């Protein structure tokens, strides 16, 4: 029987979030600490735990059929690897940062200066597009310390909250690209693996839809049902159940969480009462 092989970062926050997502999809993952491969008891899926920077090559070679990986790494490698969907976690950006004392007005201020980075190709492309000449120093790990030890005048690195930059007396001055975890597929995935992939994607999409949605219930006057229906984007049609209180109904639907906050005042103004918002585990369409 064919098995779908998915590559994950072997350690770190991206690995933890990826495993959490797979478990929410109902995959029973059998793994022990330090293992580089894990099987799934209830689905033809095998998990490969790899060094993050090696994952694009494994996809290119067809060793892995899929991977959960950061967009920033795919951009750095520039391999012809298709991205199936964004996953909504591990959001960050590749940014240029300089010492706080640096008087920065534009990216041209870095012309001729030393830039330290773990993303040399991304950095080269960006500064070339800006017509800025740089002296590039490729290093791995602890990029933020480079200006403090006079290895570089500025850096290009991954930024999430910005706390690490602040701790190293640096400030962000330009964003090269935005990134998040994505599901990527090997260009060499076999036909029988593609069949399993469809089943895998159905589970994944059901969980991702649910994470972005909420189940909404409220009591509304019958005379306002149509008005409230027009305020809310719904999957297909809202459920309306008559209450024992004459002239009132329970109005139930599924909405995007952000949509609720956009219309809450309008719902109340239209007479909605006892508004209840509940989480959803999965949505299968």
Residues 243-270 have pLDDT tens digits of: 999 999 999 988 888 788 888 888 999 9
Cβ atoms of residues 40 and 47 within 8 Å: yes
> What are the distances in angstroms from CA 250 to CA 26, 104, 223, 240, 266?
32, 58, 13, 6, 17
Distance in angstroms between the alpha carbons of the first and the last residue of the chain: 28
Look at residues 85, 72, 37 and name the one whose alpha carbon lies nearest to residue 185.
85
At 137-193, the pLDDT tens digits run 999 888 999 999 999 999 999 999 889 999 999 999 999 999 999 999 999 999 999
Extract the tokens encoding 156. 């290009």
At 52-95, the pLDDT tens digits run 999 999 999 999 999 999 999 999 998 999 999 999 999 999 99
CATH 3.30.70.120 at 213-279, yes or no: yes
Cβ atoms of residues 185 and 82 within 8 Å: yes
Fold adopted by 4-89+180-210: D-Maltodextrin-Binding Protein; domain 2 (3.40.190)
Which stretch of 128-132, 168-172, 195-199, 257-261 has the lowest confidence by average pLDDT? 257-261
Tell me if domain 4-89+180-210 and domain 213-279 are identical in fold: no
Cβ atoms of residues 17 and 89 within 8 Å: yes
Cβ atoms of residues 18 and 9 within 8 Å: yes
> Structural domain boundaries of the chain?
4-89+180-210, 92-179, 213-279
150-182 burial, b if ≥16 CB within 10 A, otherwise e? eebbbbbbbbeeeebbeebebeebbebbebebb
CATH classification (class only), 92-179: alpha beta
> pTM, whole model, 2 decimals?
0.84
């Amino acid at each position: 029987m064919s098995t779908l092989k998915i590559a994950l970062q072997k350690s770190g926050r991206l690995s933890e979030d990826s495993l959490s997502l797979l478990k929410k999809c109902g995959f029973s993952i059998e793994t022990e600490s330090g293992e580089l491969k894990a099987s799934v008891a209830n689905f033809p899926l095998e998990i490969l735990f790899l060094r993050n920077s090696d994952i694009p090559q494994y996809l290119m070679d067809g060793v892995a059929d899929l991977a959960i990986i950061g967009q920033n790494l795919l951009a750095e490698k520039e391999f012809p690897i298709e991205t199936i969907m964004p996953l909504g976690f591990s959001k960050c950006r590749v940014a240029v940062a300089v010492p706080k004392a640096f008087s920065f007005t534009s990216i041209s201020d870095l012309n001729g200066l030393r830039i330290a980075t773990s993303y040399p190709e991304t950095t080269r492309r960006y500064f070339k597009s800006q017509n800025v000449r740089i002296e590039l120093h490729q290093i791995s790990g602890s990029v933020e310390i480079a200006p403090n030890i006079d290895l570089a005048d500025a850096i290009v690195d991954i930024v999430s909250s910005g706390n690490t930059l602040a701790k190293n007396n640096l400030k962000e001055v330009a964003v090269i690209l935005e990134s998040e975890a994505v599901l990527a597929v090997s260009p060499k995935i076999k036909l029988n693996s593609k069949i399993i992939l469809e089943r895998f994607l159905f589970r994944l999409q059901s969980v991702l839809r649910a994470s972005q949605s909420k189940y909404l219930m409220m009591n509304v006057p019958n005379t306002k049902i149509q008005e409230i229906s027009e305020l809310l984007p719904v999957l297909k049609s809202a459920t309306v159940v008559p209450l024992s209180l004459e002239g009132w109904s329970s109005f139930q639907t599924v909405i995007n969480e952000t949509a609720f906050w956009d219309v809450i005042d309008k719902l109340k103004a239209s007479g909605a009462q006892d508004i209840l918002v509940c989480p959803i585990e999965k949505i299968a369409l």
